[in-house]
Amino acid sequence: MNPRTFATGGYDHVVHLWKLTEDSQGAIASPLAIRHASLVQSLLPICDTSCKLVSAGADCSVHLWDLSSERVVNTMKTSNSVYHVHKTLTSFSTLLEVAHRELQFEVRDHRLVPERPVQRFGYEASKPHGRDGIFACGDREGNVRLWDLRNTAHALQVLPAVSGRKLAQVIFSDNYLVASSEDQRLAFMPCFGQP
């Protein structure tokens, strides 16, 4: 939420909040009191009633860290390891990519007593694996799948990106989708609905 601040997490199970020095020549790290029992795989800043940091890990835990009170205000347990956390249209929910064979995505409402806490969807796969309501993800064959979160029965579109290579991450950047494979190959594609 602050342009001079960023967060990291990894194999040490710890989430660090970093602040750039005034001259931007270095950064100072502070560990956060977020307890993960395994690899921290994804972080996402959100702002609902306050600014928070979502941390998700291989331990099937998703924690919401409140930046102002400096504490975990909510923890969600998932049935599968979480690979990535993505923003949704509402600031009260997040989209999780999880290690599940048929239901690779979960939209989680992180309010304490939601009406419908989880919406699951996915595509048939042999192995486990948004913008304005459109969500993009990569698969093991090098394709990018676009989903409309208002209708998750089927992928909206499947775009070839890096043939035969597992995609590690897909992000929206300006008018493009950027897909990165596990062996650091990049593919740039026009965004859905762009020329």
Q: What is the pLDDT of residue 72?
A: 95
What is the dihedral sign for C-alpha 7, 13, 169, 145? negative
Q: Where are the alpha helices (DSSP H) in the chain?
A: none
What are 46's two structure tokens?
Answer: 């959100």
pTM: 0.65
Domains of the chain: 1-128 (2.130.10.10), 130-195 (2.40.10.480)
Q: What is the pLDDT of residue 116?
A: 62
Q: What is the pLDDT of residue 14?
A: 94
- Which residues, 6 or more positions from 95, have their beta carbon under 8 angstroms from its beta carbon? 85, 86, 87, 88, 105, 106, 107, 108, 130, 135, 149
Q: What is the pLDDT of residue 127?
A: 42
8 Å CB contact between 146 and 191 = no
pLDDT along the chain (195 residues), means of 10: 83 92 86 93 91 93 93 90 86 86 83 69 55 75 85 84 88 79 85 53
Give the Å distances, CA to CA, from 149 to 134, 152, 171.
6, 6, 16
Find, among 151, 138, 162, the residue nearest to 84 by Cα.
138
- CA torsion 156→190→141→146, rounded to 10°? -20
Strands of 186-190's sheet in order across: 167-173, 176-181, 186-190
Q: How far apart are CA 47 and CA 22, in angstroms?
A: 25
Q: What is the pLDDT of residue 194?
A: 47
Q: What is the pLDDT of residue 109?
A: 85
8 Å CB contact between 138 and 161 = yes
